[in-house]
Structure 1
Amino acid sequence: MIRINNSLVGAVERKTLAWLVRRVPASIGPDHLTAFGIFGAAVTLLGYALTAFSPAFLWLASLGLVFHWFGDSLDGSLARFRKIERPKFGYFLDQTIDVIGNLLICIGMGLSAYVRMDVALLALAGYHALSIYALVKACVSGEFNVSLAGWGPTEMRLLIILMNTTIFFFGAPEFAVFGVALTWCDITIILMAIGFFTLFVSLLASYASELAREERPGRKEPDMGRGAAPQP
């Protein structure tokens, strides 16, 4: 399967990963890094939950996101660098483990003092809708898009870290919108979720139309034997 990453920070990320894989101790393997990524997501959840006591724990939540990136992004790169790839196992494990990591992070956001749980889970649903699109398209086309419209997991982590930093320095007071208590973080994440679902519908319609044209009933396949010598 061809792996395509055209994310906004993809070029910088690839250089960083290429530098890191050469410095990972021989005793650490890709599976260790995958587990470390889940550990990072758990640290993020803990950090967010502890913001009920102090906003300083937002830094712990952001550190967890860095750990999550390190494990999630480096495991496959390390396997390819050491030429120990297990394409089926690696693909299966990576995509299923991502569900757990994303869930831990979003539940953590919902447990924080700044984001409603229903808002955090709405964003998770939209993000997973795009993930499902990418996975289904990979089965059909043989191309796995790590990013969609220039956005991938790394960009999302950076955006969340930026949100955490902004909350720490400027706060996130509640205000009423149609009688519902929200923060600016809630509004931002709701808009993000709307963007996820809008992009999902747009990509789905576009690719479905492309496939429908390719497999239009009654369409004749190109004559691959044109110009060849007639068979007896």
Structure 2
Amino acid sequence: MGEEKINKKLFTDRKRTNILANPEQQLITYLVPRIPTFITSNGLTAIGTLGSILIFVSFILAKYVAVSYLLLGILGFAINWFGDSLDGRIAYYRNTPRKWYGFSLDIIMDWVSTVLIGAGYMVYCDGIFEISAYVFVVFYGWAMIISQLRYKITDSYSIDAGLVGPTEIRVIIGLMLISEVIFPGVLNYLVIVICVILFIINLIDTNKLLDFGNLRDQEEKAEKLKAEKNKKD
């Protein structure tokens, strides 16, 4: 099967708008046919979760051993991307998709990963900065809720907030970890910046979501009135 056909087969179920969409999809298209058959979709989900656990551990080691252990977190994000990005795609490639099972499992494990990362950072930072770890988890959870509601209302599944998606978030946080190793203490302020950006994006997306909901209500009301009129006629 040619790469173009594989690419088309793998990504028909979701709309991607993130900056790295094209190179990311090309890499996934290359990797999927090369995944050993004994590695299942659930196995890849487990691998992704192990990556999140490694990120959590990297924060613990950075706190109590040496800050350079934060670099393990970058490896954790790479592992998390590998498992999280390929688990659903491998099911579509092998013609064994379980749409709602996979959708549910993916959302649950994404939330588990977010909590692990937030908890790890909460252990690593001190004092008032612990609040920013909590705020990050809350705002990222807010973004996840928006994506699920948008799917429910529009029947179009997108995991991106405009030009930024989970992959871009991983890259940004990876760069933040490198910055912390070079300039200890800077991570606390960078996380606050991320929280502010997430808050702004979520407000914009919430407003768009409400507009979608209002439009859906108007369409359904018009259809109901039309149906009632046809009955009378």
TM bucket, shorter chain? 0.7 to 0.9
Would the alpha carbon gap of residues 208 and 139 (structure 1) be closer, same or farther in structure 2, given more than 3 Å must change?
Answer: closer
Distance 1:123 1:199 in 2: 17
Higher Rg: 1
Distance 2:209 2:154 in 1: 14
Aligned equivalent of 2:120: 108
Deviation of the 1:202 alpha carbon: 2.4
Aligned equivalent of 1:36: 47
Aligned equivalent of 1:12: 23
Q: Which amino acid aligns with 2:55?
A: T
Q: In structure 2, which of residues 36, 44, 49 is the aligned counterpart of residue 25 of structure 1? A: 36
Aligned equivalent of 2:159: 146
Distance 2:224 2:100 in 1: 34
Correspondence list, 1:76-95, <5 A: 76-95=88-107
Aligned equivalent of 2:6: none
Q: Which amino acid aligns with 2:93?
A: F
**Is 2:87 aligned against 1:75?**
yes
Aligned equivalent of 1:62: 74
Deviation of the 1:80 alpha carbon: 1.0
Distance 1:151 1:142 in 2: 21
Q: Which amino acid aligns with 1:157?
A: R
Distance 2:91 2:213 in 1: 34
Aligned equivalent of 2:8: none
Deviation of the 1:216 alpha carbon: 4.6
Distance 2:215 2:175 in 1: 37
Distance 1:221 1:167 in 2: 61
Would the alpha carbon gap of residues 184 and 13 (structure 1) be closer, same or farther in structure 2, given more than 3 Å must change?
Answer: same
Deviation of the 1:132 alpha carbon: 0.9
Q: In structure 2, which of residues 181, 184, 203 is the aligned counterpart of residue 198 of structure 1? A: 203
* CA deviation map 1:118-144 (0-9, x unaligned): 212212211111211211221232211
**Is 2:69 aligned against 1:49?**
no
- Relative to its length, the structure with more helix (as a share) is 2
TM-score, normalised with respect to structure 2:
0.83
Aligned equivalent of 1:230: none
CA contact (8 A) 1:5 1:145 kept: yes
Deviation of the 1:11 alpha carbon: 1.0
Aligned equivalent of 2:213: 208
- Relative to its length, the structure with more strand (as a share) is 1
Deviation of the 1:189 alpha carbon: 3.0
Would the alpha carbon gap of residues 112 and 86 (structure 1) be closer, same or farther in structure 2, given more than 3 Å must change?
Answer: same
Deviation of the 1:218 alpha carbon: 8.9
Q: Which amino acid aligns with 1:206?
A: D
CA contact (8 A) 2:58 2:72 kept: yes
Distance 2:207 2:179 in 1: 31
CA contact (8 A) 1:48 1:111 kept: yes
* CA deviation map 1:125-177 (0-9, x unaligned): 1111121121122123221112121221111111100111111123325xxxx
Q: In structure 2, which of residues 96, 110, 135 is the aligned counterpart of residue 122 of structure 1? A: 135
Distance 1:215 1:120 in 2: 41
Structure 2 stretches of 5 or more lacking a match? 1-11
* CA deviation map 1:39-70 (0-9, x unaligned): 11000000011111211111111111111111
TM-score, normalised with respect to structure 1:
0.83
Q: Which amino acid aligns with 2:21?
A: G
Q: Kindly tell me the number of residue pairs found equivalent between the two proteins.
A: 215
Q: Which runs of 4+ in 1 moved over 3 A?
A: 215-222
